[in-house]
Structure 1
């Protein structure tokens, strides 16, 4: 999380997940070595002579209307999760007494495995796991459970493409407070996997790792130790779809307490993803942020989701680019973190050093739209923030080792240094900027009586915001004092307009801690929400 109180001291890379090689129980052999022969035999992700599949963003659906109630009620919906009661044609039947990984090794690539009802296990070693071959499908009968017994660390691993996992309950992999920054299903973030209609619960680390061209649809991702999903690969991730999932109750191990300042928790996390559709999910009751896009993500369509009752922010979009956030419902987010964070409003939607930039290719690179969303009884609404001290090369850059995407051949972590930073192109290109953000057509409703006595204007409750901090650090920074406060407020095309407000709303404007009322927010020289509709409590 980027906020000035912690940025200088942590020096962390907030989502630098370890891409550990998986070990095999017998002799602790590295999976990378074991898979080398398979990969060599299978070839690349495409057929010989074929053009590689494009890493472009999936086409989003037409504009969504903010849902009045959750649509992805998956976890309690046995019908939606149930697989076929009999084995599909040509499938290999797997009894509970058989070892799924041994069957996978003995069968050709492209095989389908149908797991019979009952509890299936993988052995007694911590690195007993299933290593699919290319194009394999694993489907569960109603009542089929793959259980790690809190002994096995991972369920499905490896680097092959085109794997499908459906209709299984996958649970109890990893001991509590282990598997940090690792995942249980698609452990190695392989390409082209489909993960659909599964219950993946009570696992350590992340339920699912997401690689390029992955489809994650209709799953119950519940009560996992760190994340419901984690979209990260050291070779980057592109073109993913996450839709109609229920993502609930994750971060049960409270990793922010175990690793203070790690920025490594939430219902779901994205790191350096190009092109994502996040649609129709119910993201609720996670013990941190609901969804968190952290560092150099771009081309995101986030729409039609119901995001509720997460203890911190509903969505964080941080040091990233080019998104459309429309037609979502945000309800009761931030009620855990908000009262403890009085100096900085804990908003349902937090935009931190992010905006649209035409130099970053792909969708939404002209206008970063936040529109058609319904905000109801969150601790705060929308905050647009830019940390004056955070830029590539700065010790205050918590995305350690990362530079911006606008001019990557020139403005890098190494070149954004004390000798260059005061001149162009470094002065402009070494910063992630909150710019071209248009917040319009949203409804902000707040009834403080539903949030308890702690919800008051002096506690940061009931605010929207557009502001930065007074720049101080490092000593060689050219962005000191009010430089970035002026930029985010007046020069970077950030605007609130045509919104509807119900309840006692206030604003943080220009400078962190500068709390203002409607008159100042709308008046000169700021001119925010001039044409918005303001309704008193209870008016419709």
Structure 2
């Protein structure tokens, strides 16, 4: 153990008083002070050994209700039935040309193998030069938005993705860039170009923007595969409203957000597989008391949105509250779990957040949160444009200019940086000025195998950290000897001398 702590033999107990700087017990004095016994972690949280189990349509109950056959427009069938009806989509691919609008208390469910698709098949290909082309499939020009990793060509802003035999092709922005595995959409000429010969292959293009719209409250969506919708940036292929239950679906290969909860108080999103969406897996906006639990959220941001700082990756929530728990948030090309702008009463607990390109968890310009019992491992190694390896660029967990935040009982292991606490000048929010205040980092097991990895507090000149704003205590560190505070890089002993982690251990 490092100097500056006293550890009881055979247990992770720290005697906070009664320890000298040399780690030996001082002789008793005439008026002995009280001794406080503090437990520090010796093992990872239970989430480290937990297994998510199956997700997606295989976990849905069999559907019994009004049948919707393949090849029919579902909306007239829905409109003709009373509210509160269960609709069962038949096995096969249902190609939607407009969003489904359920009514209050309706259930949209899938029989085994039911797929809602927003794509159209492209046929009539002709050879042109060294490639192949088809005319007339692209929509008229529309307003573009979104921040892309490539901020010059901006390929992420266009939603009409192309698939060959179900495999996602990469968009290029000029005919001269065309290579095997790519496509070029010329919107002025209304032409799509491929390098690969489409003969004998199924070529599809995402066209319809939304599968299911938030047209009513208390809707259930279950047992469906929802894929290949040309959702616009920040919009979802599945848009859920108030009191919805979105469970046991496979939401994949949609251009922007897979599942988006909008003004959807008390909605539950559970047991879904949300994978390979172009921008973000799950989004939440202006929604109180939402539960996002036991989902597999993986490999999202396939269409080149900005990795470091624009709503790409696993889950992002804004101006909302609720619980994100028990999810596997794995290998997303962006932030794993991001709460940003006026979040409140947020609980992020028991998740396994691994191998995401940017921060594992980011809590930014928000209020009152508990971030506990998560496994946050090997995040932050894939950031690109505008990002580097400093604490300003984040860490396994990043608390940015937020108040009343508890970070406790997590395993934070081998991230690019372990823990970044940031104080910036960010203006006012609905619950007061955004400020770094009352942040508690307690009882975490923090492993830093990379000598370049750091942990600590960074601040800008106009927003210095106020005394007592941050408390580190009862943490257990392994391999940590690179800390930062007040613009200085510190060793473990210097970190403790600055007032942090007085009752923590480091080895």
Alignment of 1:73-84 (within 5 A): 73-74=53-54, 79-80=58-59, 82-84=60-62
SS at match of 1:436: strand
Contact 2:258 2:281 in 1 (8 A): yes
1:509 is matched with which residue?
Answer: 485
Alignment of 1:298-377 (within 5 A): 298-337=344-383, 341-343=388-390, 344-356=392-404, 368-377=405-414
Alignment of 1:87-166 (within 5 A): 87-88=63-64, 91-123=65-97, 128-149=98-119, 150-166=206-222
1:269 is matched with which residue?
Answer: 316
Residues 1:500 and 2:476 aligned together: yes
2:496 is matched with which residue?
Answer: 522
How big is each residue's C-alpha offset from its partner over 1:41-77, in whole Å with a ceiling of 9 and x where there is no partner? xxxxxxxxxxxxxxxxxxxxxxx944124632445x7
1:405 is matched with which residue?
Answer: 431
Alignment of 1:278-297 (within 5 A): 278-297=324-343
CA distance in 2, matches of 1:378, 1:69: 19
Give the CA deviation at 1:404. 4.1
Alignment of 1:29-44 (within 5 A): none
Segments of structure 1 that go 5 or more residues without pairing to the other structure are 1-63, 357-367, 393-402, 407-430, 449-455, 472-483, 536-540
1:247 is matched with which residue?
Answer: 297
How big is each residue's C-alpha offset from its partner over 1:90-118, in whole Å with a ceiling of 9 and x where there is no partner? x1012213222221122221111111221
How big is each residue's C-alpha offset from its partner over 1:201-254, in whole Å with a ceiling of 9 and x where there is no partner? 00011111112111001100111011111111xxx3211100000111111112
Residues 1:221 and 2:223 aligned together: no
Higher helix fraction (1 or 2): 1
TM-score, normalised to structure 1, is 0.66
CA distance in 2, matches of 1:280, 1:334: 21
CA distance in 2, matches of 1:226, 1:73: 25
Give the CA deviation at 1:78. 6.5
Segments of structure 2 that go 5 or more residues without pairing to the other structure are 1-43, 120-205
Higher strand fraction (1 or 2): 2
Contact 1:502 1:534 in 2 (8 A): yes
1:380 is matched with which residue?
Answer: 417
Contact 1:70 1:282 in 2 (8 A): no
Distance change >3 Å, CA 121–CA 83, structure 1 → 2: farther
The count of aligned residue pairs is 374
Distance change >3 Å, CA 251–CA 213, structure 1 → 2: same
1:463 is matched with which residue?
Answer: 454
Contact 1:139 1:165 in 2 (8 A): yes
